[in-house]
Amino acid sequence: MPVDKASDEDRHQASAANVEKMWRFVERYAAKSGTYLHPQREITEFLVIGLAKHIDEVGRPLCPCNFYPDIHKEAKSSVWSCPCEEMQRFKYCH
């Protein structure tokens, strides 16, 4: 099932600089590590926006697919910072 494309409103949730930074990181990491990004680029874009938003908010690219009761506490941990442990283990990003 196709996913809606990210809108300008979605993209403005995070700074343009961090969105660009996370695109570079995600693409380079996937190429170097053999990790697979989602086959629907729109989903990867939403993930990149979420990562960038977390950098803006807490200074770390926390996986946007998880709920964090205390996001600031979680930012001090490395478990869910991209690339999260699941991504490193399974070589697949959502």
Active site residues: 65
Which residues touch 62 (CB under 8 Å, ≥6 apart)? 51, 54, 68, 71, 74, 75, 80, 81, 82
- CA dist., res. 87 & res. 17, Å (int): 24
